[in-house]
């Protein structure tokens, strides 16, 4: 049956290629696209001159620059793209305007890491051209050169230096960084280790050997190398103009350092100007590539199939479903482990971003749990849920080729309602820390995602002493925060029953436990648990560094009904806050802008005593150093 389906699909793909060519020819002769907007977010940056403009760093640019979250050197960054592990490096491509701190003139920026925290900037990978801007997309490893995009290997396993491969030729042509940049990034080369020069990412490895990832003298842990392969890294992305959005393919001769557009682009053109953000996976059971892509204003996720990444056939559509908002954007499809059940059990999860129209306002990501047979996604039930109870996590993309087939994602830590008006001026845009995702059943038996920081423990420095086992009603304890450092706070707390002689009022009928970050100027950021309603809140409204009509101050999330116990994992890093409650079953992500640095951590209770089962406060080692950009 599988063989027959493959033959039928192959016939349709061939026909689709012919029809696609005719569609492109018709478009060239003046065919018109549907009259619908191509974006739900304006791009004032497109009005600027397409040439670098002087950027003057402000105090806010330094104050709000994170230490462990990726942010662009300058300019504007939004959606993560092309997230993939190539066997040596984790790649982070991203939507990027290098000309100013506004959306527009969209290129693909590029950085790589060996640990998903310590990032090395690389040159722009895909540029805006006369064909349009380089909108969101993905990357895959075409190991067997099924696409036919890669030149034939001259030997099955060439020895280093014995044969000059296409990748090596490309690497020699790649311009080196200026001498002062080389000197600034120079560290102990032996910490980097010896790399396999026979890998397809020869060019990238050469560049990174010259400019290693580590910014300090600590060794950089190396992942095991992939064996030599016939193919390599391929990007699939959207070329966008106001009139049309089409899907392009680009292949890399040097492991992702440079991306060359396929001469036959576009590979998918349906005549829409609101058709974007492809995410491609390899579906092993049906032995084909599957693309999920949105017809955004129609609130549909379309599924396409291909055997070679160049010819695509429409398989099915999903939606409208869940929360529609104005536009669907940035779909992602991943097979996710079900935790605590039959070993190896998995379900498919379809993530769909919405903008604007999220319940919290503006941009948000929803997800559906279900089955995928290689052609059609079928949700298990009518439940739709959000990835975040805050409003600053959007456009998530999962990493391809993760070790152990883990599901790990990165999202844009921002919101289109205010991302172009933030107080930092020379750069804008931040990525979340990487998050591992599993599926876990909630108290009602529904499968929901649980998400937690991925290997953040490696950044921990010695804990700050903060011994505490109990807080009496109406009491608090506090500790000083390290200046200018990211911190991680771990808590496991139970509220005791409220004594009958304690009042009700605004202190919570069953008591509240509150985490407060504050400063001497009277600003405060609070994360609290209400024992009566069993809900968690996040309140950034008493910070005074940024004001905007859409910069909502408070958010909340329902936790386990009837439970007076809560666990919290809080990561605070400059202008970013990420809260993981109850082992990642509820997650809140928020930008924060105190006018002055937060310098004190307080743990407080109101009308009930609290038992502190665990408390630990860790400074986190800086991994992204942007001070030299000033």
Catalytic residues: 79
Instruction: Please give the structure tokens belonging to residue 63.
Output: 């104050």
Closest CA to 160 of 209, 111, 91: 209
Runs of H (alpha helix) within 154-234 = 166-173, 179-185, 202-210
Q: Helices 202-210 and 166-173 sit at what angle, rounded to 10 degrees?
A: 40
Lookup: tokens for 31: 């065919």
Q: DSSP of 212-246, one letter per residue?
A: -S-SSSS--PPPPPPPP-SSEEEEEEEEE-SS-EE
Q: What SS3 class is residue 155?
A: coil
User: For residue 491, what are the β-bridge partners?
Assistant: 568, 615
* CA distances in angstroms from 324 to 1, 245, 319, 358, 512, listed in the order given: 37, 20, 9, 9, 35
The DSSP code sequence of 244-289 is -EEEEEEE-SSTTSS-EE-TT--SB--S-SSEEEEEEEEEGGGTEE
Judge whether 252 and 267 are in contact, CB under 8 Å. no
State CA 311 to chain mean position distance: 28
Distance from C-alpha of 510 to C-alpha of 515, rounded to nearest angstrom: 17
**Is 139 in a helix, a strand, or coil?**
strand
Nearest to 350 by CA among 328, 335, 329: 335
Q: Cα–Cα distance between 605 and 496 in angstroms, integer?
A: 11
C-alpha angle 399-403-406 in degrees, rounded to nearest 5:
60
The alpha carbons of the chain give a radius of gyration, in whole angstroms, of 25
DSSP H/E element including 9:
helix 2-28
Residue keyed to tokens 């890093």: 573
Q: How far apart are CA 120 and CA 186, in angstroms?
A: 12
């Amino acid at each position: 049956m599988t063989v027959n389906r493959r033959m039928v699909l192959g016939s349709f793909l061939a026909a689709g290629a012919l029809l696609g060519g005719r569609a492109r020819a018709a478009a060239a002769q003046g065919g018109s696209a549907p009259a619908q907007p191509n974006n739900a977010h304006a791009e004032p940056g497109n009005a600027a001159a397409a040439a670098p403009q002087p950027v003057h760093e402000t105090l806010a640019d330094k104050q709000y620059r994170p230490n462990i979250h990726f942010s662009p050197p300058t300019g504007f960054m939004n959606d993560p793209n092309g997230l993939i592990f190539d066997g040596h490096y984790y790649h982070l491509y991203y939507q990027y305007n290098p000309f100013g701190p506004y959306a527009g003139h969209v290129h693909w920026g590029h950085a790589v890491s060996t640990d998903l925290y310590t990032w090395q900037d690389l040159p722009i990978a895909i540029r805006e051209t006369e064909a349009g801007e380089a909108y969101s997309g993905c990357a895959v490893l075409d190991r067997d050169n099924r696409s036919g995009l890669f030149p034939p290997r001259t030997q099955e396993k060439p020895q280093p230096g014995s044969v000059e491969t296409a990748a090596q030729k490309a690497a020699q042509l790649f311009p080196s960084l200026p001498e002062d940049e080389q000197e600034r990034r120079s560290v102990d080369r032996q910490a980097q280790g010896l790399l396999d020069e026979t890998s397809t990412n020869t060019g990238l490895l050469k560049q990174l050997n010259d400019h290693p990832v580590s910014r300090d003298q600590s060794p950089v842990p190396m992942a095991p190398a992939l064996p030599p392969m016939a193919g390599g890294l391929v990007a699939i992305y959207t070329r966008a103009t106001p009139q049309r959005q089409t899907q392009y393919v680009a292949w890399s001769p040097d492991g992702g350092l440079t991306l060359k557009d396929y001469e036959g682009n576009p590979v998918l053109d349906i005549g829409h100007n609101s058709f974007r953000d492809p995410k491609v996976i390899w579906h092993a059971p049906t032995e084909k590539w599957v693309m999920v892509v949105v017809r955004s204003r129609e609130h549909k996720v379309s599924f396409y199939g291909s055997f070679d990444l160049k010819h695509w056939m429409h398989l099915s559509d999903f939606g409208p479903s869940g929360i529609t908002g104005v536009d669907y954007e940035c779909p992602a499809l991943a097979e996710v482990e079900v935790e605590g059940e039959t070993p190896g059990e998995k379900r498919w999860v379809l993530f769909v971003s919405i903008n604007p129209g999220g319940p919290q306002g503006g941009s948000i990501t929803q997800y559906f749990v279900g089955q995928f047979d290689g052609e059609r996604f079928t949700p298990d039930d009518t439940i739709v849920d959000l990835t975040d109870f805050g409003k600053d996590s959007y456009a998530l993309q999962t990493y391809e080729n993760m070790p152990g087939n883990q599901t790990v994602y990165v999202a844009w830590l921002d919101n289109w309602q205010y991302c172009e008006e933030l107080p930092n001026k020379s750069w804008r845009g931040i990525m979340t820390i990487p998050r591992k995702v599993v599926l876990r059943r909630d108290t009602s038996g529904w499968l929901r995602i649980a998400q937690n920081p991925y290997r953040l423990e490696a950044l921990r420095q010695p804990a700050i002493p903060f011994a505490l086992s109990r807080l009496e009603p109406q009491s608090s304890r506090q500790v000083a925060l390290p200046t200018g450092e990211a911190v991680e706070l771990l808590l496991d707390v139970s509220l005791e029953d409220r004594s009958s002689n304690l009042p009700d009022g605004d202190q919570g009928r069953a008591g509240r436990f509150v985490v407060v970050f504050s400063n001497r100027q009277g600003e405060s950021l609070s994360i609290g648990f209400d024992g009566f309603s069993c809900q968690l809140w996040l309140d950034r409204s008493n910070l005074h560094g940024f004001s905007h009509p859409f910069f909502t101050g408070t958010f909340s999330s329902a936790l386990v009904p009837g439970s007076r116990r809560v666990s919290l994992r809080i990561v605070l890093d400059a202008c970013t806050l990420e809260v993981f409650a109850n082992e990642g079953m509820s997650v809140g992500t928020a930008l924060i802008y105190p006018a002055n640095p937060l310098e004190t951590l307080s743990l407080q209770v109101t009308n009930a005593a609290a038992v502190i089962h665990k408390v630990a406060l860790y400074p986190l080692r800086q991994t992204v150093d942007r001070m030299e950009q000033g």
